[in-house]
Structure 1
Amino acid sequence: MSRDGTWQDAEALETAAGTAGHCAHGADTAGRLADGTVEALAAAGFTSAFAPVRPDGTAATTATFGAVTQAVAAIGEGCTSAAWLASLWAYNGRFTAFLPDEGRQEVWAKGPDTRVVSSMVAAGVRAEQVDGGWELSGKWLYVSGVEFADWALLSSAPPREGDRSIRVFAVPKDAFTHEVSWSTLGMRATGSHTLLVERAFVPEYRSFVWDDMRQGVLPSGTGSSVHGAPLFAVNGLTFAAPILGAARAALRLVEDQLATPPSGARAAARDSARIAYTRAAGEIDAAALLLARVAETADLGGLAEDGAAFRSHRDATLAVEILVGAVDRLFKVSGTRGQATTSPMQRIWRDVHAAGSHAALQFEPAALAFTQRLVAA
């Protein structure tokens, strides 16, 4: 990824997108990404996109939020679940910048192919402070990509704004297991299963305060502006980019349908289908522009400006609402053919609704946060 917003290895990205798209139906049916897709995503550089260090300790990140958003959307045009994993790998790598130096070095000792997963959905967690660190036990829900993980970042409790007692622990794969628990209508292949830890020792240097990550407060002399972006201001990009790609794929399906001369009852609905397609095309473009502004604001260091972070949170959630509506419109236009189990349209429709329900993408909390300063005035 270069600083001008382009992906450094365009050929590897194209290969990953093609592989993901080719395997999308099988992944949806099996409830698991194909190994070839996972390897292609890693080879394309998603695991290291926001990595804070190289094995020699020098800064590694050359990515921008804009470049990652575009690349994830490109994967999403073929497979939403694959794009979800690619995006989470990138953003979870960004989170490791909040670890003390020794912890960062240990997590990334394997090199740029290190696969980091995370969950802040803690259930029955016990984090007991012991000599030199913590003893950690519990389970964490919805850990996308856990089957392929090298490391996991796990919270000690469900995060609460301003709570300095909640910590995040970096745990290696030999210290956790998982149980298959992910069976959903959409996003079937993300492998968002339950992760379990039983009395694992986590040294002090492999932990940080969750609220520091929320605010973007890095350890002294660590990382870059990319790593120091407040979590709530850019978290929407993580989950919105796959939806953007899926919406573009749905648009192309209807475009292909419109290019086929209609007959019978379909001919009567021709004009309304063209109008619906055009409206959806504009909506998808509008959502893309909103997400581009979120990324650009973060890339240019503009999140420190008054209200910019709250605006970015608002924009990402609003963009997702627009994209879900556009896909609904396109799904309706596709008719019975789009509902066939062999059609990618019904998979896209399911995936977009499932992804759009993520807690980070809800417009209401973003709206209340955006207007809080008005109410407090």
Structure 2
Amino acid sequence: MRTDTGTGLLPAAEKLRDLAAESASGADRNRRLGRDVVDAMGAAGFARHFVARPWGGTEGSFTELTQAVMTVGEGCAATAWCASLSAYSARCAAHLPEEGHRAIWGSSPDVFIATALVPGGKATKEGDDWLLSGRWGYVSGVDFADWVLVCAQAAGQDGPPELRFFALPRGAYRVDETWDSVGMRATGSHTVTISDVVVPRHLSFARADMLTGRSSWSEVPSHHVPFQAVAGLTFIAPVAGAGTGALHAAAAGVTPKRRTPTTETRLVRASGRIDAARQLVEQNAAVLDRRDFTPELMARNERNATFSAELLQEAAELLIRTAGTVGLGETHALQRIWRDITSATSHVALQYDTSARKNYGAVLLGPDNS
């Protein structure tokens, strides 16, 4: 079901899908999104989707964003991945104090932020501020980001160390081009290096705030969502869109000569998996918009994301077998989408053992008291 809340994101996503599809092959080859695609992504409103209205944001819904990301993913998975992360990175940065909001969005709500969720590096107190150093890998979208948001172990003057996020503008960090994956090449998920940079206190917040969905500086509902409930959605929505793109690419390559019962069966089986994955992804977004943050539903969201990744992997394999050697040609869109789906579903947030197993296992079996 299409849900447009008046922000204009969905019709803009359809235009971005078409533009990104035209340049997807070149972006894959060049390992970066074209400037026209990046500009169109910003104009569409992805970066401002969760930004508060006083700063020019649209305070959009999770359902609308999910549908828009899946739409873009039908044309280019890497573009959809960056669009999704630009929105969710802004949601994370909303945990900053009000002065931090002003520093990032004071001049524009369309600022691109690239986030490193995995802790790396260390920060030490420098008066009221922080001195930060370290390296963070797999920072998607950093090629064109205006800011980065990185997580580090912070040693305070009093008490034990804690994990904190730090926001830094372009120019305060170095980008090392280390991303060499066979899939999702155009996401530019490179490494960020920071060397003894002073970060003002208003550009830092405790990681615990993000995990619990606690924000002392914002009343926007989307800024008060536990990370467990939302994490998988960030990464699975682009892949669900890519699944639909793969189905269209595979079906378009079926000539009358290749239209056999086996081919039709594989297409039908793949389509069922893709539709099921999209339904589960949309179910996750609906939970967030209803604010049903029960342990059971948050665990189900994790299960949905990981299971959808499995379904989409299976669908991509079926479609590659359907297309045969033709589909593996360098100029065929299907092989690129297959590589993108394979790479994207390897993300740690979409693995059973690191995400859904423990929490949803407790829903099914009760807590493990061994």
Which TM-score tier does this pair reach, normalised by the shorter chain? over 0.9
Alignment of 1:269-288 (within 5 A): 270-288=260-278
Is 1:164–1:211's contact at 8 Å kept on the other side of the alignment?
no
Q: Does 1:251 align with 2:251?
A: no
- Equivalent residue letter for 1:136: L
Q: Does 1:143 align with 2:139?
A: yes
Equivalent in the alignment of 1:19: 19
Is 2:92–2:210's contact at 8 Å kept on the other side of the alignment?
yes
> Between Structure 1 and Structure 2, how many residues are aligned?
360
Equivalent in the alignment of 2:237: 241
- Equivalent residue letter for 2:61: T
Equivalent in the alignment of 1:79: 76
Poorly superposed stretches of 4+, deviation over 6 Å: none
1:296 to 286, 301, 309: 286
Q: Distance in 1 between matches of 2:299 and 2:81?
A: 24
Cα gap change, 1:4/1:21 in structure 2, threshold over 3 Å: closer, same or farther? closer
Q: Does 1:29 align with 2:36?
A: no
- Equivalent residue letter for 1:42: G
Q: Does 1:310 align with 2:299?
A: yes
- Equivalent residue letter for 1:148: F
Alignment of 1:62-141 (within 5 A): 62-123=59-120, 125-141=121-137
- Deviation, 1:317, is 1.1
- Deviation, 1:288, is 0.8
Q: Distance in 1 between matches of 2:282 and 2:6?
A: 13
Instruction: Give structure 1 stretches of 5+ with no counterpart.
Output: none
Equivalent in the alignment of 1:47: 47
Q: Distance in 2 between matches of 1:202 and 1:324?
A: 41
Deviations 1:195-226 (A, max 9, x none): 11122111111111112101111115x13221
TM-score, normalization by structure 1: 0.91
Deviations 1:243-271 (A, max 9, x none): 1111101111222234x311xxx46xx10
Equivalent in the alignment of 2:157: none
Is 1:218–1:228's contact at 8 Å kept on the other side of the alignment?
yes
Is 1:122–1:139's contact at 8 Å kept on the other side of the alignment?
no
Q: Distance in 2 between matches of 1:92 and 1:291?
A: 19
Is 1:3–1:63's contact at 8 Å kept on the other side of the alignment?
no
- Deviation, 1:4, is 5.0
Equivalent in the alignment of 1:327: 316
Is 2:184–2:343's contact at 8 Å kept on the other side of the alignment?
yes
Deviations 1:94-129 (A, max 9, x none): 011211111112111121211111103344x23110
- Deviation, 1:297, is 0.6
Q: Does 1:346 align with 2:335?
A: yes
Cα gap change, 1:21/1:6 in structure 2, threshold over 3 Å: closer, same or farther? farther
- Equivalent residue letter for 1:171: L
Select between 293-302 and 13-22 the one with higher mean Cα deviation: 13-22
- Deviation, 1:351, is 0.4
Instruction: Give structure 2 stretches of 5+ with no counterpart.
Output: 155-159
- Deviation, 1:372, is 3.0
Equivalent in the alignment of 1:375: 367
Equivalent in the alignment of 1:219: 216
Q: Distance in 1 between matches of 2:296 and 2:237?
A: 23
Is 1:52–1:96's contact at 8 Å kept on the other side of the alignment?
no
- Equivalent residue letter for 2:338: W
- Equivalent residue letter for 1:307: E
Equivalent in the alignment of 1:358: 347
Give the secondary-structure state (helix, strand or coil) at the position aligned to 2:59.
coil
- Deviation, 1:164, is 7.2
- Deviation, 1:53, is 5.0
Q: Distance in 1 between matches of 2:153 and 2:265?
A: 48
Equivalent in the alignment of 2:176: 179
TM-score, normalization by structure 2: 0.92
Alignment of 1:160-171 (within 5 A): 165-171=162-168
Q: Distance in 2 between matches of 1:203 and 1:139?
A: 19
Q: Distance in 1 between matches of 2:270 and 2:228?
A: 28
Is 2:4–2:10's contact at 8 Å kept on the other side of the alignment?
no
Superposition RMSD in Å: 2.0
Q: Distance in 1 between matches of 2:168 and 2:183?
A: 29
